[in-house]
Chains A and B, each alone.
Chain A
């Protein structure tokens, strides 16, 4: 099946620094990618929809200036957590939509810990 990768798989950073997470679709082109956040024992929460070549669409309550999304190519979307705080510590998961089969594949997730 289609594969979506994320890098890094886990990252620890200090408060106030910025962290970039990459999401790649490995064997298909994805016009649309999604970024989710998951707290322990909770379901995935959609943060934003990333559209190739245009601005991302953010869900209500998600700060677009804090969570910068760039979708510069059909196989890569990045999420940058700016000026990270400990409360940003979470599991971030991306997914990519295969437009040919209208299927959505999830990445393996990135564990962010802000100290």
Chain B
């Protein structure tokens, strides 16, 4: 069964601190892995997309990693800002179908 699991479910950090979100997946066939940011009451916005051969990709303060052997990905946020407060969703594409994780809700406090 195709599954995407994220941890932690929620996270609270202080402004300026770094954090890392985790994503484990069992998806076949694997096409790519995406990280999305979803603000409350808004649609998801793509942060990174990685294919099988890529093991790291950055987008500003966001850096995603992918280990295709262990089927794990992480999203590292550097120097967090209040505007980083959102849900971060890991999505794995399986032959054109998107398998969604349940997301990690990040709260950045001043």
A-side residues, CB < 8 A to B, are 1, 4, 6, 41-44, 46, 91, 93, 95, 103-109, 111
Contact = CB atoms under 8 A, between A and B. Distances in A.
A76 B64 CA distance: 33
A111 B49 CA distance: 27
Interface residues of B, number: 15
A109 B41 contact: yes
Contacts, number: 33
B103 A107 contact: no
Interface of B: 36, 41-46, 49, 89, 98, 100-103, 105
Contact of A108 (B42, B89, B102, B105): B42
| Most chain A CB neighbours (cut-off 10 Å) among B43, B44, B46, B105 | B43
B91 to A, nearest CB: 9
B90 to A, nearest CB: 10
